[in-house]
Amino acid sequence: MKKIIKNKFGIVQGRLSKAPKNRLQFFPKNNWPDEFQKAKVVGLDFIELFAERKFNKTNPIWTINGCNRIKSLAKLNDLKLITLCDDHVIDKNIHKQYYLKYFDNLLAAAERLGIKSIILPLYEKSNLTNKNYQNFISTLKIILKKCSLKNINIYLESNIDAKIFLDLKKRVIFKNFFFLFDTGNRVKNKNYFKDIPIFNKNIKQVHIKDKNQEMKNVKIGNGLVDFKKVFSYLKKTKFEGNIVFESTREKNPIKTAIRNKKIIFDIISKNT
């Protein structure tokens, strides 16, 4: 009997294209439409769209015509539009008025695309920690209220402990607030996988990447992340959320994506 896997598999936009100097996060401005067909070849369910650290007005998410083209390409290649990740918040302080005005435009883009979940990676200029998390409550309340009115979720990406996240969620009150577990970013935390049962149903998405001792991104399987252990713990929470590849491309991005999907798919299949 064939095992049923309910997870949706995606890949971060740009990871199916070659990038200059092998940059990890790279918007493929000249051939972004090609990635939809490539994602279909790999056997993925969706591409995770993203807004860049430095605002790029040519990114198609910012225009009606651009969003319509994205939707057409997704439909043509049997792909869903599920998540939008905002890297801009890494370079801009989330608490500043500028960012809150910018977020209104991001929210409008998500609504045009029919995307129901926005990812906020709170690092660097918007770094969220176990010590300063209470400073984020009022700002997150504003953002979550805006999203709640549009029936859109926020997935928080951060290195904070699970217990801190649960306290933060309790304080912001809104129910459209969930967690994104990034395997590569969290591997530097001691016993990183043991936080998974504490997060429990709050984990709605997992970013798949691997890192070495120097915390540099490496080929999946060549780093510190114990993916078998991660998915063993996720199984205990009955995780059925999204699995998104945010890993290195190697020499051939498509072959790498096919390899990576098979590795994770096989691990989940054995755990099912």
CATH number at residue 223: 3.20.20.150
Would you state the pLDDT for residue 1? 41
Residue span of the structural domain in which 149 resides: 8-271
What does the pLDDT read at residue 267?
95
**Pairing, β 217-218 against β 242-245:** unpaired
Query: In sequence order, what are the beta bridge partners of 191?
Result: none
Residue 3 inside a domain? The answer is no
Indicate the DSSP class of residue 4: P
Whether the Cβ atoms of residue 223 and residue 248 lie closer than 8 Å to each other: no
**Residue 2 in domain:** no
1 is a domain residue = no
DSSP letter for 179, please. E
pLDDT single digits (tens) 40-91? 999 999 999 999 999 999 999 999 999 999 999 999 999 999 999 999 999 9
* Domain assignment of residue 112, yes or no: yes
Q: Is the Cα dihedral 261, 264, 269, 272 positive or negative?
A: negative
Total domains in the chain come to 1
Residue 2 has pLDDT above 60, yes or no: no
pTM exceeds 0.85, yes or no: yes
Identify whether 42 is part of a domain: yes
Residue 272 has pLDDT above 70, yes or no: no
Angle, alpha carbons 111-153-206 (nearest 5°): 115
Q: Which residue has the tokens 């790029």?
A: 56
Average pLDDT over residues 251-255: 95
- The reply to whether 130 falls in a domain is yes
Is 160 domain-assigned? yes
Residue 114 lies in a domain: yes
Q: Is the pLDDT of residue 220 over 60?
A: yes
